[in-house]
Amino acid sequence: MCSIFGILDLKTDPIELRNKALQCSRLMRHRGPDWSGIYIDNYVILAHQRLSIIDVDSGAQPLYNVDQTHVLAVNGEIYNHEEIRTQLSKKYVFQTGSDCEVILALYQEKDINFLDDLQGMFAFILWDKLKKSILLAEIILVSFHSIWAKINMITLI
């Protein structure tokens, strides 16, 4: 199982926080021993520890859209990713074979109104640099008949 974390709405110089973020990320290493990725800008720090299951070779995170204006750190699995990829392949340039990259494609296509399109179990942090907003979502399959969901949108000014 992968792990993700973020430091949001930075009040401290991100370069100063980078070492602390790397230390925190290393504490999660046991959850994702195959890859460590970190994204830092003046507003957010996103970290990801990866356990490679799908797209072992090119699914490193955080993931970015082509313009690198959307940044995604995600843990989980998108069960219907092949269907979504097929639907959006003419409108979105996929850069990896990661099942989770479809989150970026859907966000680009539908803004925040895409979560109902996803089938799976996942938690993610999506940073939109242009809007300076963060979308946090967690969908957990409690049983085959119920799903627990928590969704938050935060705008940093």
Strands 70-78 and 133-143: unpaired
Whole-number Å distance between alpha carbons of 26 and 28: 5
Q: Is residue 101 a contact partner of residue 94, using CB atoms and an 8 Å limit? A: yes
Set 2, 21, 88, 104: catalytic member: 2
Query: Could you confirm whether 24 is annotated as catalytic?
Result: no
d(CA 59, CA 153): 25
Q: What is the rounded (10 degree) CA torsion for 64, 119, 77, 134?
A: 40
Sheet holding 133-143, edge to edge: 63-64, 70-78, 120-128, 133-143, 146-155
| Count of C-beta atoms within a 10 Å radius of residue 32 | 21
Which single residue is written with the structure tokens 């992968």? Answer: 2
Catalytic residue numbers, as ranges: 2
